Chain A
Amino acid sequence: MAITRRQLITGIAKAGIPAAVAVTVGTDALQAGEHIPIPNAAVGLLYDASVCIGCKACVAACAEANDTPPDTRSDNLHQAPSDLNELTRNVIKLYKPEDGSAFSFVKRQCMHCLDPACAAGCPFQALHKDQETGIVTWTAEKCIGCRYCTITCPYHIPRFQWSGFNPRVTKCELCSTRLEKGLKPGCTTVCPTGAVIFGPRSVLLLEAKQRIKNNPGRYYQERVYGETDNGGTQALYLSKVPFEKLGLPELGPESVPARTLRWQRRFYQYFALPAVLYGGLVQVIRKSLRGHEEEAHEREKETGLRAQL
């Protein structure tokens, strides 16, 4: 007995819906709990705010290492950016509470998150996390300048160039050109106190934990920011004052994309659910369309006017 096309499609739709739902909901198991991998050769920075003296040599060295002119727009005399911007990948800020309690410098640059929100949101993968080193780099050829990265980054790092007809997005890329030559990033090379150091992430984590152990009571909450924060970052921070005061929000152990896009990802997994919905819609509309056309032809005969479908 031959089956009609309608029966075939209905059958597929009927079988498909449970399959799609299963795929969508069960994606959790498929993805092994959305585990975030740590790259093999993950490199990073360890910045100890309690050691930093605020000399800003790293700010000057960063501009030089990246061949960027220093940002002198504030007074035309000094390289004095007030924040990260299209000329500044690395900035030293000062947290100085009004009541005179402990102050601290903080070095702000890209955190090279293990699950970066900027790369998760970038439409054509212009921001891409390297599989080996974990460095998040920006590619001009793929960027459409939508500035979604400036909104998704929880640390507000990528900065868009607001002037000129060929704008770029600027952020620290751990001096990857220098790394290729066997040199260290500009900032870590010039730091006079060793407040910021470069190395493999695992080594830096050990170093940080060692420092916490050797100096009980010195560091805030006796922990390294970036070990698990936001799913883990490759730029690690130690501080005497609360991390939030330095502009490092408490985000919890889940990365921003994992936490917020969970259902979005599941819904569109393999495009299963949308495809099934589409099949169902086609069926329903076919029926409606047939009825509508019949009515329209009747009215056409009644009124003598051509049907408007």
Chain B
Amino acid sequence: MSTATASVERAAGNRWERNVPVYGFPVVNGFFLGLSALVLVAFVLTAYRELTGLGPVSGMNDAYGWGIWKTFNVMVLTALGSGAFAIGIAAWVFRRKRLHSLMRMALLTSFLAYACGLLLLGIDAGRPWNFYWMVFPWKWNMHSPLAEVAICMSIYAMIPLAVENLPPLLERLWYFDSRLRPGVELVEKRLHYFFPWIIAAAYLLPGMHQSSLGALMLLAGERVHPLWQTPWLPVLYLGAASFMSFGCVAGTTMLCCLVWKRAMDMEVLEEAARITSWLVFGWLGLRLVDVLFRGALGTAFHFDRFAGVFWLEVLLITAGGVLLWRSAKSHDPQPMFIGYILSSAGGMIYRFSPTTLAFRPNPQALYFPATVEVLVSLGFISLGVVGFLIAVKRLAILPAPLSEWHDMASYFRFRRPYIRWTGYFKYGHFGEDETPEASGSD
């Protein structure tokens, strides 16, 4: 799509052809240790919460029964973690082949976001020992959106999402030791046989529960401000999840390339940006038309915090969408990154509002998270980031040009020859030197 020679060269050289682990950067550094400290703090505080109950550790009260654990870590962060769903559908159902290079990133971020979100869902529940009722389908209340969310999310995270994240692990095992190869290949074959069913479930289930997350607040009726309360809430939540997750995956990939000095394949990113901007504009259209048709637009012009949040949302998402659209044309990563951040931030505020910012159960009540609550939330987010850092440096997740793979192999072979078992190059039994991969035999 480019005309200047430099960018052609650039494009040719930067094509993402393979997923390559991040090498040359230690897993344990200052940032990692800081995050681990946050994680430990969160674990300690969680133990404290289990003993004292929810009241002393959080700002939740009778009027605001749900705090940031549910409304942020579950409802917002799993939206950011819908990459497996959104990018997956774009890649597999709509056959956007270029987006396949982002799939592993999407799957990893999704898995971590869902794992941490579900952990917090368990911590937030007041009587978690009764979760075992999930095993008996006849005990479910299928009319309840929350039952749908809890059950669907758990099944999704434990089966399709987890299974889809197996390939990088299996790949690593394959390279780790040649004795494991027959077993790994058998498992992979079985996996590929069931893949259509698993992948289809991985799109159906998030579609169901991301929209049900929106349906949750339908039951609150008038207490959600009219600018947000609409029968289209499930669809809007699903739409927000899709463009937010694009932002999360593509934005994270861009950030990773920046930090670890990888090349960015602008074609893939431009495609992603374009799709995201379509999603954003489509979503905005639906939202504004819905507000207009319900006659709620008038309330957007009052001078209160609800109007403020509404306009902030709309502005952030619009600005994000516009920046993404333009960056796709101009091949400029900077506005693209900012566009992703703004649109995701706006989407996060949108999904957060009906439960907290736009929820008015009682004119006198207010909710603000307590310090312990914020620290636990932060700690579990850090857990996800820690998991990400480990995974991206040990498994082949981050996309890169083919040459990056060769350089990684040589890095381990020549620069760190004593670390034979961390390299993604074929070695026989421990230490035994088979023909190295660079010579071409596979």
Contact = CB atoms under 8 A, between A and B. Distances in A.
Interface of A: 83-85, 117, 119-126, 140-148, 150-152, 154, 156, 159-167, 249, 251, 256-257, 259-261, 263-265, 268, 274, 277-278, 281-282, 284-286, 288-289, 291-293, 295, 299-300, 303-306, 308-309
A39 B310 CA distance: 44
Contacts of A268: 142, 148
21 contacts: A85-B62, A117-B219, A120-B141, A122-B147, A125-B139, A144-B126, A147-B65, A148-B65, A151-B65, A156-B62, A167-B53, A260-B219, A260-B221, A264-B143, A265-B143, A268-B142, A292-B92, A295-B97, A303-B402, A306-B171, A308-B167
Interface of B: 17-19, 50-56, 60-63, 65-66, 91-93, 95, 97, 100, 104, 124-128, 130-131, 133-134, 139-148, 150-151, 167-168, 171, 174, 188, 192, 195-197, 199-201, 203-204, 207-208, 212, 215-216, 218-222, 231, 234, 361-362, 396, 402, 405, 437, 440-442
B100 A292 contact: yes
B219 A121 contact: yes
Question: Counting chain B CB atoms within 10 Å of each CB, which of A141, A145, A289, A300 scores highest?
Answer: A145
A138 to B, nearest CB: 11
A159 B402 contact: no
Contact of A142 (B66, B128, B139): B139
A292 B101 CA distance: 12
B127 A145 contact: yes
B356 to A, nearest CB: 11
Contact of A167 (B61, B126, B134): B126
A282 B196 CA distance: 5
A125 B141 contact: yes
A264 B234 contact: yes
A123 B201 CA distance: 22
B95 A146 contact: no
Given A288-B92, A305-B402, 8 more contacts: A143-B126, A144-B126, A151-B66, A257-B219, A278-B201, A282-B197, A289-B199, A308-B168
A197 to B, nearest CB: 28
Question: Counting chain A CB atoms within 10 Å of each CB, which of B54, B93, B104, B201 scores highest?
Answer: B54
A86 B36 CA distance: 38
A166 B148 contact: no
A28 to B, nearest CB: 15
Given A83-B62, A123-B140, A309-B167, A264 B147 contact: no
Nearest to A308: B19
The 10 nearest A-B residue pairs measured at CB:
A145-B126, A162-B55, A123-B147, A145-B127, A147-B65, A281-B200, A150-B65, A260-B218, A152-B219, A124-B133
B195 to A, nearest CB: 6
A124 B147 contact: yes
A142 B56 CA distance: 24
Contact of A289 (B54, B92, B218, B219): B92
Given A278-B204, A285-B93, A122 B442 contact: no
Contacts of A144: 125-128, 130-131, 133
